[in-house]
């Protein structure tokens, strides 16, 4: 530390200090005078900054989390961390402020939580009225719609980072909503491209009976038709697995799963739609035929994977690990991208005016780096973030879609999800 301080001193002071340290007592007074004179010499740059301080541009961001009462996952390893999503937002705020301090910009984050749509919307409206103009949501589709309608007359922008429902991007699209969470159509298209590229075109579809499972199954059917795969069999999973954690539970499952998957037409891969993981994790290695499992379990399409190392992702992973003391989840990433998009827009425009920032984020000239090897941007027709999708096992990414050979007239990223000619979203731009 002393070495760094001396190295940073003016040349005359360093010479005097060197002589003083050599015990030349007769130089003490002259050196002291020299140091005093230099210390009293005004620093023009410092004085200018202090006499004319630049005004700090504040940008307040709200993270709105709906506290949902969801059934527990099958594995004790899969319980979501309590700060899932929050840690992603906190890291993005740090990233924004790292750049922002040089531009006199300051970003703040406030987390609001509620167990009901009404309460959460009320809390967010209160923050927007107080000046926050950017809201990132980790909530159900119904809540996102309610919040969007409540803020339709405000200069505010909502980033949906928690709901993959396609209707939010299609029939129920809203002008004041962007989507950093990939849609179900994007996820199933990413998976379908890889399976077709592997020539695994015959699928056995097994789905749950919850609304989200049926929606995922419909997305899988759409992707199969779009890319030339065939669903040779479709079965709803309604087998009673009983108390799966009780004594003998796994033996019961080991007998029921093979029976359930028996007598299916010849297929290449079993595709599962079980978003809340109530049975899907039991399927790998228990099917009657020796076949791979993909979909919501097995080989899974996701926006992020905690073991991704390409394209500088190791740097992001390590910074997140240092902050949260755990790996980064897809929900953390989706929220991180939303908050970083706001910071990127503020950096480029050097402004904090919400109208200017919103217009720029939605413009064709905007993009944000996402550690996926591609620039990410928002689709003009429905507000969806176009991005590569990782297709992964629990431990490692297997591939990244779009796959080779799936071409598009503008960008192959638009081969994932609903493209502009087929969208049902009307009058989104503006």
Q: What mean pLDDT, rounded, does the chain reach?
A: 88
Instruction: Residue 295: name the closest of 365, 213, 233 by CA.
Output: 213
* Mean pLDDT of all residues in 119-126: 98
pLDDT of residue 224: 98
Could you read off the pLDDT of 243-280 as tens digits, one per residue? 655 555 667 788 889 999 999 999 999 999 999 999 99
Q: What is the domain partition of the chain in residue ranges? A: 2-39, 57-182+304-387, 185-301
Question: Which CATH code is given to the segment(s) 185-301?
Answer: 3.40.50.2300
pLDDT at 375 over 60: yes
pLDDT in tens, 311-360: 999 999 999 999 999 999 999 999 999 999 999 999 999 999 999 999 99
- CA separation (Å) from 158 to 145, 193, 354, 418? 10, 30, 12, 20
Dist. CA 382–CA 362, nearest whole Å: 10
Query: What is the dotted CATH code of the domain comprising 57-182+304-387?
Result: 3.40.50.2300
If phi over 0 gives left and psi between -120 and 50 gives alpha, with beta otherwise, what is residue 163?
beta
* Residue 104 falls in which region: left (phi positive, over 0), alpha (psi -120 to 50) or beta: left
pLDDT of residue 429: 65
Single pTM value for the model: 0.86
Same fold, 57-182+304-387 and 185-301: yes
Write down the pLDDT at residue 35.
35
pLDDT in tens, 400-411: 999 999 999 999
pLDDT, one tens digit per residue, over 210-254 is 999 999 999 999 999 999 999 999 999 987 766 655 555 667 788
pLDDT tens sequence across 97-110: 999 999 999 999 99
pLDDT at position 3, please?
Answer: 42
């Amino acid at each position: 530390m002393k070495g760094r301080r001396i190295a940073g001193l003016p040349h005359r002071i360093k010479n005097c200090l060197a002589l003083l340290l050599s015990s030349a007592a007769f130089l003490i007074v002259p050196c002291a005078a020299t140091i005093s004179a230099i210390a009293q010499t005004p620093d023009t740059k410092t004085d200018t900054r202090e006499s004319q301080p630049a005004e700090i541009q504040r940008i307040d961001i709200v993270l709105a989390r709906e506290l949902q009462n969801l059934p527990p996952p099958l594995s004790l390893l899969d319980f979501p961390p309590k700060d899932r999503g929050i840690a992603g937002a906190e890291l993005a705020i740090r990233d924004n402020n790292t750049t922002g301090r040089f531009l006199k910009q300051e970003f703040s984050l406030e987390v609001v939580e509620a167990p009901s749509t009404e309460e959460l919307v009320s809390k967010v409206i209160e923050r927007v009225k107080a000046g926050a103009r950017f809201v990132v949501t980790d909530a159900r589709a119904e809540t996102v719609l309610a919040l969007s309608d409540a803020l339709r007359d405000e200069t505010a922008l909502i980033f949906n980072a928690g709901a993959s429902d396609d209707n939010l991007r299609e029939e129920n699209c809203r002008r004041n909503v962007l989507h950093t969470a990939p849609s179900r159509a994007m996820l199933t298209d990413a998976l379908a491209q890889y399976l077709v590229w592997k020539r695994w075109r015959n699928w056995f579809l097994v789905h749950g009976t919850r609304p989200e499972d049926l929606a995922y199954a419909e997305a899988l059917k759409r992707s199969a038709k779009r890319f030339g795969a065939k669903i040779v069999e479709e079965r709803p999973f309604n087998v009673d697995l009983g108390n799966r954690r009780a004594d003998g539970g796994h033996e019961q499952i080991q007998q029921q799963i093979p029976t359930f998957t028996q007598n299916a037409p010849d297929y290449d891969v079993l595709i599962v739609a079980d978003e809340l993981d109530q049975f899907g994790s039991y399927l790998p290695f228990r099917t009657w035929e020796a076949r791979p499992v993909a979909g919501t379990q097995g080989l899974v399409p996701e926006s992020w994977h905690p073991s991704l190392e390409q394209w500088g992702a190791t740097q992001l992973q390590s910074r997140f690990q240092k902050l949260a003391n755990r790996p980064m989840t897809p929900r953390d990433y989706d929220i991180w991208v939303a908050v970083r998009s706001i910071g990127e827009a503020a950096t480029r425009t050097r402004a904090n005016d919400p109208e200017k920032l919103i217009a720029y984020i939605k413009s064709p000239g905007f993009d944000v780096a996402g550690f996926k090897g591609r620039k990410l941007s928002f689709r003009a027709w429905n507000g969806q973030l176009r991005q590569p999708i990782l297709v992964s096992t629990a431990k490692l990414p297997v591939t990244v879609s779009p796959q080779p050979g799936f071409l598009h007239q503008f960008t192959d990223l638009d081969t994932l999800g609903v493209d502009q000619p087929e969208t049902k979203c009307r009058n989104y731009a503006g």
